Amino acid sequence: MIIANILKSKGSQVISVRTHDGVASITRTLAQHRIGAVLVVERDNGVLGIVSERDIVRALASLGEGVTRMTAGQLMTRVLFTVSPRSTVTDALQLMTDRRIRHLPVLEENGSLCGLVSIGDLVKARIAEAEHEAEELKHFVTHMG
């Protein structure tokens, strides 16, 4: 299965924030949409980074209450690992495992954003794929004997 299939069912809408948005606004957005990360985007520059719950917790642990005055631009992880719509779910899961990340922006070859997938999206797709394969095997066995 490829990432494009997940985006077909999930949709390509990506929740994002701007570099100047503060921590309070970011955390409200995360809570409101029940998500674990938001992309940081600007109209002219595209995707600049990602802010995850993990980024906020780590900043809170090291800076304490000073985190409340920070912006997305200050908090964001700037080094992004990405996949393309043609990437396989297996490859995306391997990248997440190797890099210890939970979200991957999906970018076209020209760099345009076409979605965001989470570890949950990928695991759900992989389970559905395994269940489908098991059903096919059952069908094959019962109709061959």
Q: How far apart are CA 101 and CA 72, in angstroms?
A: 18
38-47, 85-94, 113-122: least confident range = 38-47
* Residue 12 confidence (pLDDT) above 90: no
* The predicted structure's pLDDT at residue 116: 96
Q: Are 105 and 113 in contact (CB under 8 A)?
A: yes
Q: What was the pLDDT predicted at 123?
A: 94
Q: What is the mean pLDDT of the segment spanning 77-93?
A: 96
Task: Name the band, by pLDDT with cuts 50, 70 and 90, for residue 139.
Answer: confident
Q: Give the rounded percent of residues in the chain with a pLDDT score beyond 90.
A: 79
Check pLDDT > 60 for residue 86: yes
pLDDT over 80 (residue 67): yes
With a cut of 90, say whether residue 20 has pLDDT above it.
yes
Summarize the confidence of residues 38-66 as an average pLDDT: 92
Q: Which domains does the chain have, with CATH numbers?
A: 3-144 (3.10.580.10)
Which has the closest alpha carbon to 69: 105, 104, 26?
A: 26
Q: Average pLDDT, whole number, for the chain?
A: 93
pLDDT over 70 at 145, yes or no: no
- The answer to whether the CB of 80 falls within 8 A of the CB of 101 is no
Q: Which residue has the higher pLDDT, 120 or 138?
A: 120
Q: Tokens 């990602």 — which residue?
A: 50
Decide: 39 and 13 in contact? Cβ < 8 Å: no
Task: Identify the three-state secondary structure at position 50.
Answer: strand
Degrees (nearest 5) of the Cα angle 19, 49, 92?
A: 155
Please report the pLDDT score of residue 134 as a whole number: 80
**Alpha carbon distance 83, 102 (integer Å):** 13
**H or E element that contains 48:** strand 46-52
